[in-house]
Chains A and B, each alone.
Chain A
Amino acid sequence: MLGTTFVLALRSIRRHLLRSFLTTLGIIIGVAAVVTMVTLGKATTAQVQQNISSLGTNILQVRPGQGFGRGGGGPRPPDFKPEDVEAIANQIAGVSAVAPQAQSTATAIYEGANWSTTINGTTAAYFQVQPWPLAAGRLWTSQEESAGKAVCIIGNTVRQNLFRTGRAVGQRFRVGAVSCDVIGVLSTRGQAGFGGDQDDVVIMPIKTVQRRFTGTRDVRLMLVGVDQAYSTATVQAGITDLLRERRTITAGKDDDFNIFDTKQISDTLSSTTTLLTRIVTAVAGISLVVGGIGIMNIMLVSVTERTREIGIRLAIGAVASEVLLQFLVEAVVLSMLGGVIGLLLAQVAIGALSALGGLPYLFVPEINAIAFGISAVIGVVFGYFPARRAAALNPIDALRHE
């Protein structure tokens, strides 16, 4: 009986292709919207989290100044001193390592190729607080670090622009006024969400950079690694107290430095994107319900329009439940067909939009399954009422219907 009904339903859909398409349009759009929104939301969240975790989790970034969007006028607050780095490393519980950074920019030159890049001076701690494995070569030794040797570890972008396909480790190139040996090449990190290409960098021992580039012992930035067992907030508070004291900031005055907790930012951003995703999904979900009502509307119209057809079927010997089932199956097939088309459309939209937004293409099986399931349920729910009405028709009246 279901087989027969299925054949009848498919024939009826095929007979009225345009009407069938218009009927399912609401479902198509609804399903496509829901799946696209949820998937893009997930992709964005994943992207944000990946960007942040590429900075390292459990890391505090300590900078002079009042942080984003504040600071305003007045003299620039002083950079940190090497002694501040020592103090944080030794006096705050839960600090696993502190990597000071001194930064400059310079042009790197190798056999006629030249490339303007960022020079980052730091210590070996830099590679402890955040995971950034080498693709080739080695780190500098502590002797090289304390002696301020001209040894460099280069990012992949720099390697590509200076050495092309050639071997970089072991080569000597000029960066600014310094002649530098390449001892290591970093693995690729890719585009950061904030502040460009992370691979466009030359890393040297901090002493080398301070002596040959910045000319001061100042530290622009400290990366503080936090022990897993400690909360970043506690450590952050400890560092704040210590630095206020060391920088003699009297009570009541604002900090002249800021501490950026990547984990906290990550949590905030993901909860924001999650919320946004939920809102947009709810809106898309409403469109799915509207699509269902569209199906019911057209099925009801179609019952009236096809009254005579129903009369013919009843006269020929269809029992009421067969007519009911035919209309129900028609509605379900239509809405599931709409669901499938919607899913396909969603994949196209996701592909296009994520390419546009620089997001990775994501396929989330659950949401596809759920959206498809909902479309089937909509078919049953909104198809039932018109189907029951069709099945209840009296064959004589139905046959006489014009």
Chain B
Amino acid sequence: MVAVAAAVVVGAGAAAVASNAAAAASPDGADALIALRGVTKSYGEGGTAFQALKGVDLDILAGDFVAVMGPSGSGKSTTMNILGCLDVPSGGTFLFRGYQVETLNRDQRALLRRRYLGFVFQGFNLLSRTTALENVELPLLYRGDEKKARRELSMAALEKVGLDRWWDHTPAELSGGQQQRVAIARAIVTQPDVLLADEPTGNLDSERSVEIMELLTDLNRGGITVLMVTHEPDMAAFARTVIHFKDGLVERIERNHHQGQPVEGGA
């Protein structure tokens, strides 16, 4: 069943690649990993419909570290859900790795998430009563890795986030910061192209938040494209690109010109 769905993804991918030729013609979308073109999203129907995104154009290059900012209700999470292939736009086009995502079905999008995307949530979202190792292993289980490979990759991921000694602890036995690091280990264990994090430090104090940001910076240096929503300028300062949203549109895009660690007090 999965194999069939995977084949369909590949098929759809080929079609998407063909249609991508048009997008590639546009000067700034040429070598973008992610490209949104006129993406809209409305919730509800008819007269009560609410338009959360009103035509977003966006290119994200492979290897970038992007922070998404903006007032509450401006459409940050909605955009992240679309970028994470959890949701589809109501209008416009979303190209990811040559796939025209809005044309894919539920299972095909699930397979894209499985292969290329990692998620970190504000509320950690670890499985309760499940050890750190088993949590990190989960994506590998769905991917169909053998037990030995699962163990090794999971332990390596835990080591990357500095929690290899805590592998047999359940979320209840870990602090918030540690839980978020387990969640990050779970997100990167499959070596995804993109790490999506919607307010990853929203539930953490500033010291713990900085640790998480340093970890994300580190992972980004290792080659993962990081997309992160945050309300805090201190956190956004870790990113290379900051995208400001307002009323369902991209308001402006800033570049932080720093190498590695941000200077105290922001760039």
Contacts and interface: CB of A to CB of B under 8 A. Distances in A.
Interface residues of B, number: 31
A8 B141 contact: yes
A396 B81 CA distance: 8
B76 interface: no
Given A313-B138, A399-B125, A319 B110 contact: yes
Contacts of A7: 141
Given A316-B113, A316-B186, A399 B107 contact: no
Interface in A313-336: 313-322
A317 B134 contact: no
A317 B142 contact: yes
8 contacts: A1-B1, A4-B144, A8-B141, A313-B142, A316-B114, A317-B110, A319-B110, A396-B87
A328 B63 CA distance: 41
A176 B111 CA distance: 97
Nearest to B77: A396
A312 interface: yes
Contacts of B139: 316-317
Contacts of B186: 316
B144 A316 contact: no
Contact of B113 (A15, A16, A317, A321): A317
Q: At the interface, is chain A mostly helix, strand, loop or mixed? A: helix
B1 A319 contact: yes
Contacts of A4: 141-142, 144
Given A4-B142, A319-B107, A319-B110, A309 B127 contact: yes
B253 to A, nearest CB: 26
Contact of B144 (A1, A16, A308): A1
B127 A319 contact: no
A15 B144 contact: no
Interface of B: 1-2, 5, 81, 84, 86-87, 106-107, 110-111, 113-115, 117, 119, 121, 125-130, 134, 138-139, 141-144, 186
Interface of A: 1, 4, 7-8, 11, 15-16, 308-309, 311-322, 395-396, 399
Contacts of B143: 317
A399 B121 contact: yes
A7 B106 CA distance: 24
B5 A319 contact: yes
A399 B84 CA distance: 13
Shortest Cβ-Cβ A-B pairs, 5 listed:
A317-B114, A319-B107, A317-B113, A15-B129, A319-B110
A321 B1 contact: yes
A322 B142 contact: yes
A311 B125 CA distance: 9
A49 to B, nearest CB: 54
A41 to B, nearest CB: 44
A75 B143 CA distance: 94
Contacts of A314: 110
A319 B4 CA distance: 12
A25 to B, nearest CB: 21
B138 to A, nearest CB: 6
A311 B117 CA distance: 15
A321 B107 contact: yes
A2 B1 CA distance: 11
B106 A320 contact: yes
A119 B121 CA distance: 93
Nearest to B125: A312
A399 B141 CA distance: 20
A327 to B, nearest CB: 15
Given A309-B127, A320-B110, 15 more contacts: A7-B141, A11-B134, A15-B128, A15-B130, A309-B128, A312-B127, A315-B113, A316-B186, A317-B110, A317-B115, A317-B139, A318-B142, A319-B2, A319-B111, A399-B125
B110 A318 contact: yes
A320 B119 CA distance: 18
Nearest to B192: A317
A253 B172 CA distance: 90
A7 B81 CA distance: 29
